[in-house]
Homo-oligomer: A and B are copies of this chain.
Amino acid sequence: MEERDIATVAEIKDLLEENTVSWINVQGLGDENVLRELADLFSIHALALEDVVNVPQRPKVERYDEHTLCITRMALVGDRGIEPEQVSVFISPNYVLTFQERCGDVFDPIRNRIRQGRPVIRSSGPSYLAYALLDAVIDGYYPLLETFGERLEALEDEILGNPQPVILHEIHKSKGDLLALRRAIWPQREAINALIRDENPLITKTVRLYLRDCYDHCVQIMDAIETYRELAGGLMDVYLSSVDNRQNEVMKVLTIMASIFIPLTFLAGIYGMNFEHMPELHFAWGYPFLLAVMFLLTVAMVVYFRRKGWLGWQQNEPRDRND
């Protein structure tokens, strides 16, 4: 096993002439000339080169005479949510050629396995190497999914505790991210399936078995994404309903205040009138008696509202969810 940093395309030419399997990894798609030279060297079809350069493409497998192109997408967390990065893999009998959009280290574990001389990866030909690359890309989705699980649980706790308008935006953003993820993983599954089903001689029977495992992972990731999407949709309902409950609480405070004090104010208004002939005004116990009536009225109202459960809403706080 040899490992080299290559600066010019000419060096690759020498490499390929040797009777070995080469893995050439191109990082960054900026230099058009290098890409064109590579395309000439590896006889890459114009359409294939376009697919490699015009990112993001839909993950797919395209078979050309010389090699099979497999376009796949990594899921990276960027500044504005999920930022998928395209990885294009050309598989041929004697080389594996990969293109990455940006420099990244997602393939480091594979490099290490090759360096450590793990027998399987070094003896199984280019299709196993291609599988290992695909597998690394797919496995990169798992940690992301876990963060989603945690995000949604955190949101649920927040909704239970202190629902704020900003939560809806976060749910909306989560849904958008899950949508982007689904859009990335769905065609990946189809592409891997195409690799398994097509009678492509490049893919050995052993690798087909491994690809099936990879396919199962795709399906598992899709399952998880769908579950998270449904949970996110459900959270939105719970949030909206807790907003409704808050509004209900506001309404109740208003109603209770108004229902208690408006009748009392009316009574006070009665005895603030200036009629000449209002006998009550001259009673010695008129004032204390009225105060007592007012007090009793208030008590009656409080009892009424408590019966209705409007003053007992403090007890309606969500119970412990594990009950």
**Residues of chain A having any CB pair with chain B under 8 Å:** 45, 47, 50-51, 57-58, 60, 62, 79-80, 160, 162, 164-166, 168-169, 172-173, 175-176, 179-180, 183, 187, 209-210, 212-213, 216, 219-220, 223, 227, 230-231, 234-248, 250-255, 257-259, 261-266, 268-278, 280-287, 290, 309-310, 316, 318-319, 321-322
Contact = CB atoms under 8 A, between A and B. Distances in A.
Contacts of A276: 281-282, 284, 286
Given A255-B253, A277-B284, A321 B240 contact: no
Best-buried of A47, A251, A254 by chain B (most CB within 10 Å): A254
A77 to B, nearest CB: 12
Given A257-B258, A274-B281, A248 B246 contact: yes
Contacts of A266: 261, 264-265, 268
B281 A169 contact: no
B246 A175 contact: no
B277 A286 contact: yes
A220 B172 contact: no
Nearest to A247: B248
Contacts of A252: 250
Contacts of A272: 268-269, 272-274
A166 B274 contact: no
Given A270-B268, A275-B271, A276-B282, A172 B58 contact: no
Copies of this chain, tallied across the complex: 5
A49 to B, nearest CB: 12
B176 A231 contact: yes
Nearest to A175: B234
A53 B270 CA distance: 79
Nearest to A243: B244
Contacts of A209: 45, 47
B271 A273 contact: yes
A137 B142 CA distance: 28
B172 A238 contact: yes
Contacts of A259: 253-254, 257
Best-buried of A187, A266, A319 by chain B (most CB within 10 Å): A266
B258 A268 contact: no
24 contacts: A50-B213, A51-B213, A60-B216, A162-B309, A165-B241, A165-B245, A165-B316, A168-B237, A169-B238, A169-B321, A180-B227, A243-B244, A250-B310, A251-B251, A251-B254, A253-B255, A253-B259, A257-B258, A261-B266, A262-B262, A265-B266, A273-B274, A275-B280, A276-B282
Contacts of A176: 231, 234
B255 A223 contact: no
Given A216-B60, A240-B241, A241-B168, A173 B316 contact: no
Contacts of A169: 160, 238, 318, 321
